[in-house]
Amino acid sequence: MDPFAAGGKGGALGGAAADVGREVEASDLLLPGLDEALAFDELLKHIEDLRWDVVVFDTAPTGHTLRFLALPELIDAWSDRLLRLMRASGGIRSMIFGRKESDAMKDELERFRRRVLHVRRILSDPSTTRFTLVTIPERMGINETVRANEALQHHGLPVTGCVVNRVTPALDHPFLERRRAEEQGRIQELEDALGDHTPVCVPLMDTEVHGLDGLRELSQVLYGDLVAIPEGIGPHPMGDPLHHEVHRSMVVEQADAEETIQLHLPGLAREDLSLRSEEGRLLVGVNGHERHVPTSSAVKASTVVARFRGEVLHLTVPRSSATTG
């Protein structure tokens, strides 16, 4: 017997597909954009990393970026179709793989789906994510930026700023004056198209921007004077003329009887969280992926008080409850 036979009523998976109205075609089983899906997972790993308060994601050219950002909806539809097929063919899969392995496959697919949707929630939340368009003051660049803005808005992604790079400075020379006048006209067109977002212009510099000193000089133009992020969890307003609101990824407060740990976990659903300890180490799980939360002493998870409010997980660890187990 060929359990994968597609023809006739005797085909096991063919019959299972018939049970769900033959809505699942062979092409539906192909994961759309596998490279992009893995990139999404890698992006989420950086977002979940407690070492970083801010993650800068420098995207590919516009067309690739828009395909990348549309991926969660594609994966959601793909995984929904595949999960329906797996439910319909549950008996066949159990016979082939065994029930335990079959259930593990379904659970892993569901976790992958939740992680991709988690990234989508983060990217579409203006309190957490800001898309800043970057262009040059030439016709092709301006037109592409206007299209990118429209596409991002269509996908519900928060565009909150725009940078026009390499703008000709105001210098007393006929050639440069004509060049600058053309550029200013295009920048005005861009400003009209963006509506609420006034483009920030970065002048053409006499040297390439590289190294820390060059980046600090550029940051002065974009964000103003350098200031330290306050110690609280946030949000903390930062920058002018470009503006961002920044959260600390982790804040720890020490007291005599206990320590309080706050973790900023944007876009997370309560049911996707888990908490346990292992050999005195505190582990917080998000969609099946665990991270170690540093504590001042060994911890037993059963003694930790956990509350999830908004996007912040509050952990209270009594010092008297510390254990080496």
pLDDT the model gives residue 322: 44
Residues 319 and 257: their CA atoms lie apart, in Å, by 6
Q: Which of 66-70, 129-133, 210-214 has the lowest mean pLDDT?
A: 66-70
Query: How high is the mean pLDDT of the chain?
Result: 81
pTM of the prediction?
A: 0.75
Question: 178 or 310, which is more confident?
Answer: 178
Distance between CA 214 and CA 95 in Å, rounded?
A: 63
- Out of 35-39, 67-71, 166-170, give the one with best mean pLDDT: 166-170
Tell me the H-state helices in 124-232: 139-154, 174-194, 211-223
Domain 250-321 fold: Immunoglobulin-like (2.60.40)
* Cis, peptide link before residue 241, omega less than 30° from 0: yes
Q: Where are the domains of the chain?
A: 12-123, 131-228, 250-321
Q: Select the CATH number that applies to the domain covering 131-228 from these four: 2.60.40.740, 1.20.1050.10, 3.40.50.300, 3.30.70.360.
A: 3.40.50.300
